[in-house]
Amino acid sequence: MESEEKKDGNRRVLNIREELAARKYRSPGKFVSFLYNIIGSTVLLPQYAPHFRFDDRLPPEGGPAIVVWNHLSRVDHLYTMKAVYPHSYNMVAGYSEFFRSHLHTVFKLNQIMPKKIYEQDIAGIRAMYSILKNGGIVTFSPEGMSSIYGTNQPVVPGSGRFIQFFHVPVYCLEMRGQYLTSTKQFLKIRKGRTEARLYKLFTPEQLESMTPDEIDAKLNEAFRHDEFEWTKERGIKWRMHGQSCERLDEICYRCPRCGTDLSMKAGGDRIQCAVCGNGAVLNDYYAFEPFDGSCVIPESPSKWVELERADIIRAIREDPDYSFSEHVKLGCLPNDHYIKKKATSELCGEGVFTLDHSGAHFSGTKDGRPWSFDLGYNVLYSLVIMTTTAKFALFVGGEFYEFMPDRRTVGKMLLITEEMHRLHVNLWKNFPWNDGLYEGMALGIDAAEDAGGDVSGNA
C-alpha cells in the first residue's frame, strides 16, 4: 500500500484521495476483532438495550460470505460485530466518512472499505471482491444509507446483480428499534429496546436460479419495516427526556390540517403549525397526542411523511413548471488533512440549489470562484443524508459535496428529488406495497414504454 503522505520539500503532505484509491484490503486481525468485540459488548452496546436472536450462524470456518442488514442507524455496526463474532469481517462505509479524523484510525484497524453512495464505484466493488475472493466476510447495507423516516428505503439499483455475481451465501441481520434510539433529526440517545436477528437469506444455489430483479425484490421484502408500528405493537417506552419532537419539522414539514408547507415548528415534545395551530405532543411511546379534537395529526411521523410524499407526487404532475429553490451553504472534503470535531465536510462556498423537472441545479461559489452544475434524474434518484436531516449530499463529477439549507427544507427536497426521478426515469422504483400512491399516474420508463416514447421531457 502506498503511503498516505507524500514529500513536498521538507514537509510531508497528506493526500487522502490517492491513499484511498491505492489502499489494499485484508481481513482484520483476530486481536482487532477481539478488541472491537470487548469494547462494543461492554461499553457501547449496553446503552441500547440490545437483544439478539440467531436463527442461523456463520459456519465455524467463516467465509466467503456476505452479511446484509436493514440500515436503521449509525450504530448498526455494533450489532453486526456481535452477530458475526468471533469471525473477522470487512464492513463497507460511506466514502466521505474516511475523511473524518475521529474515524480514521478505527477504519484502518478494522479494514473498513469505502463506497460512494448512489454512485458507480469500481474501486469499492473491487475492494469487496478482493475480500470475498480470499475467503473473507463482507458486510454492507444494500439500502446505501441509514433510515431517514424510521422505514426502509428501496435497495440501490443493481444490488441483486452485485450479490449474485459472487456466488456466496448471503446472511441477513434484521434490525429493530435502532432508529428510535437516535433519529436522523435528533442524534441524542433515547433508550428503549433494540433487537437483531441473524438468518440465512440466500444460498448460492438460490441466487443462481433467480433474476437480479427477483433478488432485489426479496431484499426489499426482507427489509420491510416501520419502526413506529413495531414499537407501538410492543408498547415500548423510550426515555425521551422531553425532547421527542426536536427538529421533527425537518421531515414533518407540512400541516395535515391547513396544508401549508414548511409551517410546522417542532421543539421539546411538541410540534405545531404556525399558521393554524394544529399540533400534538409526541409521548414516550412515540405516539402522537393531538392538542384537542380539532387537530388533524397522522398516526406516526412515518405516516406523516407518506402524506407529504403523496402531495409531492400530485403537485409535480399537475405543474409542468414546478420548481423549488433554497439558499444553501456548500461543504467540501479536504485532501491534505482530516476533518475535525466530528464534522462531515468543511465550508467552501454557498449558492442556490434548485430542483425542477429537468433535474438538480446549483449556482453559486466554491473556493471563492463561481461554480455551478446540473444533474439529470437519470443519474440522480435520491439525496444522500449522512448523519442528520439538517443537510444533504451529492456526488458531482465523482466528488462529494454537502449542502446545508438556510431553512429546515431537507425533508421536502428529498421527496421532490425521489418523486421527480420516479416521474421521469423510475429506475429506483417505489415498493409494490406503496403502489396506491401512484394509482393512475405516469411513472417514468414504465409509462414511456407503454406509450412508445419518452414522457420524461429530458434529453
Q: What is the pLDDT of residues 104-143, one digit of tens each?
A: 999 999 999 999 888 877 888 889 999 999 999 999 999 9
CA 36, 39, 41, 45: dihedral to nearest 10 degrees?
-100
User: What would the mean pLDDT of 424-432 be, rounded to a whole number?
Assistant: 94
Cα–Cα distance between 332 and 45 in angstroms, integer? Answer: 32
DSSP H helix total and E strand total for the chain: 13, 19
| β-bridge partners, 353 | 326, 362
pLDDT confidence tier of residue 377, bands split at 50, 70 and 90: very high
Residue 186 has pLDDT above 50, yes or no: yes
Whether residue 408 is contained in a domain is answered as yes
207 vs 176: CA distance, rounded Å: 26
Asked whether 153 and 219 are in contact (CB, 8 A), the reply is: no
CATH code for the domain of 446: 2.30.29.30
Examine the domain organization and report whether 284 and 356 are in the same domain: no
Task: Return the pLDDT at 111.
Answer: 94
Q: Are residues 216 and 301 in the same domain?
A: no
With respect to residue 121, please indicate whether it lies within any of the assigned structural domains: yes
> Same structural domain for residues 346 and 414?
yes
Asked whether residue 33 is assigned to any structural domain, the reply reads yes
pLDDT value, residue 319: 97
Residue 267 lies in a domain: yes
Listed residue (455, 451, 333) closest to 398, CA to CA:
333
What φ, ψ does residue 281 adopt, rounded to 5°? -100, 140
70 and 81 assigned to the same domain: yes
What pLDDT is stored for residue 456 in this prediction? Answer: 37
State how many domains the chain has.
Answer: 3
pLDDT of residue 455: 36
**253 plus 338 within the same structural domain:** no
Is the pLDDT assigned to residue 4 strictly greater than 50?
A: no
User: What is the percent of the chain where pLDDT is above 70?
Assistant: 94
Q: Which whole number is the average pLDDT over 407-413? A: 98
b/e string for 61-95 if b means 16 or more Cβ within 10 A? ebbbbbbbbbbbbbbbbbbbbbbbbebbbbbbbbb
C-alpha cell at 141: 447495507
**Burial bucket for residue 344 (CB in 10 Å: 0-12, 13-18, 19+):** buried
Whether residue 64 has a cis bond before it, omega within 30° of 0:
yes
pLDDT score of 6 more than 70:
no
pLDDT of residue 1: 36
Instruction: Let me know whether 68 and 158 are in one domain.
Output: yes
Domain containing residue 403: 320-451
Q: Would you state the pLDDT for residue 3?
A: 41
Higher pLDDT, 353 or 8: 353
426-436: average pLDDT: 93
pLDDT-derived band at 10, boundaries 50, 70, 90:
low
DSSP per position, 34-78: HHHHHHIIIIIGGGG-EEEEESS---TT--SEEEEE----TTHHH
Which grid cell sits at 159?
444490488
- How large is the average pLDDT for residues 230-245? 97
For the cut 50, the answer to whether the pLDDT of residue 362 exceeds it is yes
> Residue 201: pLDDT above 70?
yes
Position 458 scores a pLDDT of 35
Q: Identify the domain boundary among 287, 317, 347.
A: 317
In this structure, are 346 and 393 located in the same domain? yes
* 209 to 202, 206, 220, 223: CA distances (angstroms): 11, 5, 18, 21
Residues 338 and 297 in one domain: no
Rounded distance between C-alpha atoms, residue 79 and residue 21, angstroms: 29
Q: Are residues 113 and 126 in the same domain?
A: yes
| Alpha-carbon radius of gyration of the chain | 22
* Claim to verify: residue 34 and residue 144 sit in the same structural domain: yes
**Number of residues written out for the chain:** 459
What helix, strand, coil percent values describe the chain, rounded to 5? 35, 25, 40
Q: What is the mean pLDDT of residues 242-271?
A: 97
pTM of model > 0.85 = yes
pLDDT of residue 447: 56
Query: 230 and 312 share a domain?
Result: no
75 plus 179 within the same structural domain: yes
Query: Quick one: CA torsion of 219, 220, 226, 231, rounded to 10 degrees?
Result: -20
> Cα separations (Å) of 456 from 12, 191, 388?
51, 46, 31
